[in-house]
Structure 1
Amino acid sequence: MALDALALDFSISLETPDLDQPILELTDRAFGPGRYVKTAERLREGSRILPDMSFVALRSGQLLGSVRMWPIDVREGEACERIAFLGPIVVDDACRGQGIGKALIHACVEAALAKGLRAVLLVGTPGYFQPFGFEKAKGIALPGPVDPNRLMIRYSQPDLAFTGRVSKAI
């Protein structure tokens, strides 16, 4: 479903630097300290978000949700493909089920593809992300343990397929 077809009582906009601390606080409330031991967090730490692909949901100036995108590389031999790593996606508990997460995902994926990136990678629940065009990422390895069934990719074109090891692109 296209974003403009949704009746939204919130707005989606690019993340701004003043929202960094509120986003971190919302993320900590949603995921707790356990998120810091995950492989996905290793790809994010020490890196910078892609500011033209990271979005927030606001209602009357109040932060309702956030999705961040990070630069990563998929390398196999001499071949290297720069793509975006999606996450975390977080929505305030009181606002879940209102389409905020879906609107954020649409916004960041559309922005990444519009910028010419050929894929977006994430770790997430297949049943939630498949409707957005994500599929199991075959032949791609993260630099740490991850459930291979939860490693998902969205390609810009159906005939694309990357393989190799993921590393952060700083």
Structure 2
Amino acid sequence: MAWTIRTEKPEDAAGIAKVLTDAFSRKDEAELVAAIRNSDAYDPALSLVCVEDGDIVGYVLFSPVVIRTADCDETPALALAPVAVLRAFQKRGIGTALIEEGIHRSHQKGAKIIVVLGEPGYYRRFRFESAKEHEIEPPWDVPEGYFMVLGLETNVLRDVHGVVHYPEPFTQIVDVTE
């Protein structure tokens, strides 16, 4: 393994945008990350890059969200979004390593719950499970099973339910179901 994972630095912005644009074949996610970076939702400790030979080849970001009940009770959580690897570097374990390191750092910082919108077959390997089974709903219409949750401590999801509320920059995504 010739690559390393580290915390994002200010000078990484262009490399991160390149990774996101390459991986998603559009600029939406790069624009989302730029907007998050300039908001209160940004925690540089949870913005990770994978570097090989001095170039950024992968990226993952965890942002604060809240799970809000109809009675306005709120439970803090994090959202894993986006995660991306340059197409030429995919299938090498970089995305897996970024997510695992991000989950570990999130837990070290006190996070207890992480949500993700993504392919169930991929995210189950990290112990994510259907959020719907825990009565946790996304703020958008998404395909059945694609909105998932991970409890980082035993029974942390027991009394948690409601709709996940994302930071303002997430409203800039054109289509969350792609």
Report TM bin, short chain. 0.7 to 0.9
Which residue matches 2:151?
155
Please name the residue that 1:167 is paired with: 165
Residue in structure 2 matching 1:141, options 119, 137, 144: 137
Q: Residues 73-152 of structure 1: matches in 2 within 5 Å?
A: 73-76=66-69, 77-138=71-132, 139-152=135-148
Pairwise CA distance, 1:95 = 0.7
Structure 1 stretches of 5 or more lacking a match? 1-7
Please, which of 58, 63, 81 is the counterpart of residue 56 of structure 2? 63
Residues 26-77 of structure 1: CA deviation (Å, up to 9, x unaligned): 21222133856xxxx6xx7674332111211001211110001111111112
Separation (CA, whole Å) in 2 of partners of 1:166 and 1:24: 26
Amino acid at match of 2:154: P
Q: Flag as ranges the 4+ runs of structure 1 deviating above 4 A.
A: 44-47
Shift of 1:158: 3.5
Say how many residue pairs are matched.
Answer: 157
Q: Find the residue that maps to 1:97 and give its secondary structure.
A: coil
SS in 1 for 2:45: coil
2:99 is paired with a residue whose SS is helix
Give the gaps of 5 or more residues in structure 2: 169-178
Q: Percent identity?
A: 27
